[in-house]
Amino acid sequence: MTSKPRWLSNWLERHQHPVSLVLHLIGIPLALAAATLAVVQLCQWRWDLWWRPMTLLVAGYLLQWIGHRIEGNDMGELILVRRWLGRPYVAVSPKYGGKPDRPADC
């Protein structure tokens, strides 16, 4: 029997609320589709259709942001920035046993 990869266990720990999980399962593919569509359109020199990948990207991130608001923790990108700046962040919501994290050098 194989265990889950560590990154998946960490991700699932940060996304325990069922609504947040569903929003992420929709939002992440939208954001990835935005990047793919942008590359395809740029290769076809379709600069006039910039709004399509932008709409997918904004919709995908909006869904994920709503999920993190429901969950009560910070988004992964925000955690990276806060960690880089030496600021505290919330990786796992306190309602699921998490506590504000501090960067290692504090």
Domain ranges of the chain: 18-71, 73-106
pLDDT at residue 75 above 60?
Answer: yes
22-53 tens-digit pLDDT: 999 999 999 999 999 999 999 999 999 999 99
pLDDT at 41: 95
Task: Please state the rounded mean pLDDT for residues 81-86.
Answer: 92
pLDDT at 99: 64
Sequence-distant (6+) residues with CB within 8 A of 88 are: 82, 100, 101, 102, 103
pLDDT at 95: 81
